[in-house]
Chains A and B, each alone.
Chain A
């Protein structure tokens, strides 16, 4: 009795104390509203730097609806818990961030709390943005506050109870938001550290490429081991990379900058937008990202290296096996004409023996690309591929997927392909209609005179 009383008392104290501590973490005051600052009050060079940082951070991809006004938000971002709608981050006073001070903006980036003190859902990747420096936040703020103000109220999130209670997010932050900021590794080069700062911070690569746990947080023990985004599979970009040819810093730089590498192919799906954005930022930042990520991919083992060399050598050989299955016939008629032509893009595609999609565990990307193809970018000599959604039924796409897997990969066959295709057909329609397209043409002038 006495003993349990003591335990009860201790528990009560713990609960009260814990509750108090939780309240302290969960509750944030509003930061006073300001009058939207005039454009001229921001330094032009700061705004320019902010533009580059916004491209590095991919802000527009979630905060702009395809065909809609820049940064006006309201894009439905699918999550396992229901769609979350991105907010309007134009300087509109009523519906955007026009009344936010720089302090309020910085708090949102660092702690995921809006100006009024409400918790923001971690769909906004503040678990990464918490690492962004004050200086970079200032430039981003200057850039966003000098955009065209758009009056547009985002729709209400469709989350079920209790997730629709924002206070729940405070608990999530307690578990998964590490506010220590970026710590440089002094044993590494300046470039590596710059890359680490960008990748782990503003560029938030792990938001797509790291798998998430049941609570929707990145699994820290599986960094860059592959994840999901908008019904696309974000490949593992660590030692588990399924790319037939191992990545190195030079290939990464070219791919991130130009959206294409002859040993790896084309960035498409959500990654096309990333590459498009990275073509407009300083080359040194892309080199830094490539340098850090090459380290994350790891130095390939001799076996892995040899596999890559074999894949490259085989890609140069002509194959002349008569097609013996439906999948093989479809491949010969619909795919080989470009993918075995040896022509440079846009008139040819990479040999499929080099395709990461065919070697990955998840067949969705390949199904997506077969159905919707790759649309050209206006004003650019960009990669192209016609989509086959109109003429191939689910059974035919599945047959082609199975054939490509068996012919171009040593990995085990995929299962349930018809279901994958049906699902891809359903979701790709939504993706094509709703997501922000790669409307910003790559600005890298070096790309313009290349095939």
Chain B
């Protein structure tokens, strides 16, 4: 048994030290936003945030997560109250099949937390690790830029409206 901190909550998880984080998120915690793509850390669809950094959960064993804070897409926002990054992706219609998008959003979120006004080059440099077969790349870049603007505005709204959004 180990304690895994996900989206601000502690979960008691019965998993081996070498189990990939992705399996625990999906199978045990039923958090299905992160996807299994290649299982080799090469496509990016399993990306989540660990202590503020984008991490490939399919190649990250549980032993590396003790005392660390995991954030999945579910932790950013919901259907009724989407986070800026989610709103931006919807408004730009950046998903086609959508399989890669949760991972894209998580890496973009990590980028925006670190670099609130990224250049095109920085966005491309970050997302280069993510594969998308549908080809919505240009919309994805627009969505990340829109999210940056939304977050900028959100920062100006009163705290009572929620800081997570």
Contact = CB atoms under 8 A, between A and B. Distances in A.
A380 to B, nearest CB: 13
A391 B63 contact: no
B78 interface: no
Interface in B75-108: none
Interface in B14-71: 17-20, 40-42, 50, 53-56, 59-64
Contacts of B40: 338, 346-347, 384, 386
Given A329-B61, A334-B59, A391-B53, A376 B18 contact: no
A333 B41 contact: no
A334 B17 contact: no
A333 B42 contact: no
A391 B56 CA distance: 8
A333 B61 contact: yes
Interface residues of B, number: 18
Contacts of A46: none
Interface in A172-209: none
A66 to B, nearest CB: 11
A337 B17 CA distance: 14
B17 A386 contact: no
Interface string A11-30: 00000000000000000000
A329 B50 contact: no
Contact of B18 (A333, A346, A388, A390): A333
A332 interface: yes
Nearest to A432: B125
Given A332-B18, A333-B20, A326 B54 contact: no
Contacts of A329: 17-18, 61, 63
A159 interface: no
A388 B54 CA distance: 11
Given A384-B40, A386-B41, A390-B50, A330 B64 contact: yes
Contacts of B41: 373, 385-386
B55 A334 contact: no
Contacts of B61: 329-330, 332-334
Q: Is the interface of B mostly helix, strand, loop or mixed?
A: mixed
A283 interface: no
B63 A333 contact: yes
B17 A392 contact: no
Given A333-B19, A333-B20, A392 B64 contact: yes
Contacts of A386: 40-42, 56, 59
A333 B62 contact: yes
Contacts of A333: 17-20, 60-64
Given A332-B17, A333-B19, A333-B64, A384 B42 contact: yes
Contacts of B56: 386, 391
Given A329-B61, A329-B63, A390 B55 contact: yes
Nearest to A387: B41
A300 interface: no
Nearest to A331: B18
A332 B63 CA distance: 10
Interface string A316-352: 0000000100100110111011100000001100000
B118 to A, nearest CB: 15
A305 to B, nearest CB: 35
A362 interface: no
A319 to B, nearest CB: 14
B114 to A, nearest CB: 12
Contact of B60 (A323, A336, A391): A391
Contacts of A376: 42
A228 interface: no
A102 interface: no
Contacts of A396: 64
Contacts of A334: 59-61, 64
Interface string A395-408: 01000000000000
B54 A390 contact: yes
B63 A326 contact: yes
Contacts of B62: 333
Interface string B110-131: 0000000000000000000000
B109 to A, nearest CB: 14
B103 to A, nearest CB: 13
Nearest to A327: B63
A323 B18 contact: yes
A333 to B, nearest CB: 2
Contact of A390 (B17, B20, B53): B53
A391 B17 contact: no
A340 to B, nearest CB: 12
Interface string A274-316: 0000000000000000000000000000000000000000000
The 6 tightest CB contacts between A and B, nearest first, are A333-B61, A386-B41, A333-B18, A390-B53, A329-B17, A332-B18
23 contacts: A326-B63, A329-B18, A329-B63, A330-B63, A330-B64, A332-B17, A332-B18, A333-B17, A333-B18, A333-B62, A334-B59, A337-B59, A338-B40, A347-B40, A376-B42, A384-B40, A385-B41, A386-B40, A388-B60, A390-B53, A391-B53, A391-B55, A391-B60
Given A329-B61, A386-B40, 10 more contacts: A329-B17, A330-B63, A332-B61, A333-B64, A334-B64, A338-B40, A384-B40, A385-B41, A388-B60, A391-B60
Interface of B: 17-20, 40-42, 50, 53-56, 59-64
